[in-house]
Amino acid sequence: METNPSHTTTSHYEHSSYYSPLPDHSSQPSPRRPLKGYAVIFASMIFLMSLVTLIIIQSPEPASLEKPEKDQPLSTKPTSFYNISTSPVVLPRGVAQGVSAKSNPSLSGHHGVSYNWTNAMFSWQRTAYHFQPQKNWMNDPDGPLYHMGWYHLFYQYNPDSAVWGNITWGHAVSRDLIHWLYLPFAMVPDQWYDINGVWTGSATILPDGKIVMLYTGDTVDAVQVQNLAYPANLSDPLLLDWVKYPDNPVLIPPIGIAIDEYRDPTTAWLGPDGKWRVTIGSKVNGAGVSLVYKTTNFTTYELLENYLHEVPGTGMWECVDFYPVAINGSTGLDTSVNGPGIKHLLKASLDDTKVDVYALGTYFVNNDTWVPDNPAEDVGLGLKYDYGRYYASKTFYDPKFERRVLWGWINETDTEYEDLAKGWASLQTIPRTVLFDNKTGTNILQWPVEEVESLRLNSTDFEGVVVKPGSVVELNIGTATQLDIFADFEIESLGLEETNEANGGCRGGAVDRSRLGPFGLLVIADETLSELTPIYFRPTNTSDGGLQTYFCADERRSSKANDVFNQVYGSQVPVLDDEKFSMRLLVDHSIVESFAQGGRTVITSRVYPTEAIYGAARLFLFNNATGVNVKATLKIWQLNSAFIHPFPLDQIDTVKPLQPF
């Protein structure tokens, strides 16, 4: 149905509390302590640090190559709030163990007064239709696959705590990629070659239907090695039991590769010579590299002399992914497909900057190398999968719907203290399909899998809502915490003189006014706009008379809390001459996934509101441009919650092979 907005606020932005100057620090007052109190606290800290140091010195734990006893803990990694250290520098969790940071450097040492979080606030942060475990820590998606009517997701999981450590493979299954059932752990760190963690891996489906899983193990001596595992019973649709190859590891760091810079094997692809190829990320002299191996049996390998690819200055490549995309087509491709009309996408997760980057190019099968279409936008120099809070992604080919499906990890931006208090940390994005953008020819399109539409409830339409410069319009849809939003925008010039706005972009945030923008939506906002997250476009005139458009998300006013990390994210997005400015947003409590122009540019936002929660969450249109009216047309669905629960253990033995549905 067509609905009118509830009201229009026409006052200029300067008069709104939201558009007051951004302070350098949170405006939340901090209670003062008397000097005597500080002295007591300082003396107590010195005593405790001395005691801990004495215990550590007197209780060394040398590394052992022997298989751990059954009553030993699964890992030697700490699971307490902070790593014990006498150094004044607090490293992010995970760095000392040879993986990317698993906590926020700017916050992990936060021992000051934190925001007064309540259980109600923590409860609201938990999402309704994004996948996450019942409790504790989760990071990278692992080995996603489709088998006998079930989608399988494995994931990095700490069964003991809401911080990184003791990494085990969690396991869940789904019939539709939306509703999930938790299963028992697939693999635990119980062998010398993975005792310090069963890390990231990938699945390969062989032509005869067999499944092989290659994964990185962190050995008892902290060496990163590659291991092989496979299902104990391939006829089991739930793949409950996994067998680790008895002669693991199958690969160790080659000469010239550091023992802690060798991880995350990809899905294998089959070459014309009948041999499988696998690539693994690493770093050589500051350059990110992808090593290539050949194998016929996944137990013995030949390391090729040349890299699949390398890019100087990009640092360690983690979670490398490599797959084909059709230039003209609406379906995905199996990883081994190659030939005319196909480009190959090479993606890496950059350890130095914690972003997922990709480039399109050509794969040469004669020497197993890949060359980017545009060297200026090589891997790490140009495009990102997602310009927000997103990392360690992995794709798989879904034979049921002939599509390439992308998973990604959304990590936290609060403190570990808060994560421990609420009892969980991190989640996965809604799975996305990946297609080549044949309109631009330079990028991919990411789009939520169509199954998410099964959650749609009632919808509300808004047609041709005019938002004047400096105005905010509330959209009367009721509670605004679980939404699927489609919005198109057109701009109507007010005839002001055009200027060169070469300094456009996202970094100034939604308060940075120009003639043409910004304009868009305010999500997870309270009625007074004291908390809100703008998702917006910023068109900018260029010196040659053209128009350059940015798509942005400004998290800086998303929370009144003083102990969360928030910033402005975004990038340019191509808007073609015959296109309107269009966005789709998936709002799920503390997560907002934003897709511009059909998925050319994507931003994931992680927010922690304190007031814009439950029934207080609202949705607004805004126009902060100075020289244009904005006309908006929207269709907004309320979304139901997904069914994400443990699999009934008493029914596991009765599950029969299921036909695809």
The catalytic residue positions are 140
> What are phi and psi for residue 597, nearest 5 degrees?
50, 50
Tokens 């606030």 correspond to what residue? 121
Alpha carbons 183 and 645: distance in angstroms, whole number: 9
- For the chain, the maximum distance between any two Cα atoms, rounded to a whole number of angstroms, is 78
Q: How far apart are CA 134 and CA 619, in angstroms?
A: 29
3-state secondary structure of 555: coil
H-helix or E-strand spanning residue 636: strand 628-639
Whole-angstrom CA distances from 277 to 326, 349, 352, 645 are 20, 20, 27, 37
Nearest Cα neighbor of 611 from 510, 532, 520 is: 532
C-alpha 633 chain-centroid distance: 29
Which is it for strands 180-187 and 644-646: parallel, antiparallel or unpaired?
A: parallel
CA–CA gap between residue 564 and residue 414 (Å, rounded):
4
As given in the structure block, the two tokens for residue 104 are 């926020």
> Residues 633, 462: contact at Cβ < 8 Å?
yes
Quote the strand ranges of 513-617, DSSP E. 519-525, 533-541, 547-554, 568-572, 581-588, 591-596, 601-606
Q: Are 266 and 322 in contact (CB under 8 A)?
A: yes
DSSP 571-596: EE----TT--EEEEEEEETTEEEEEE
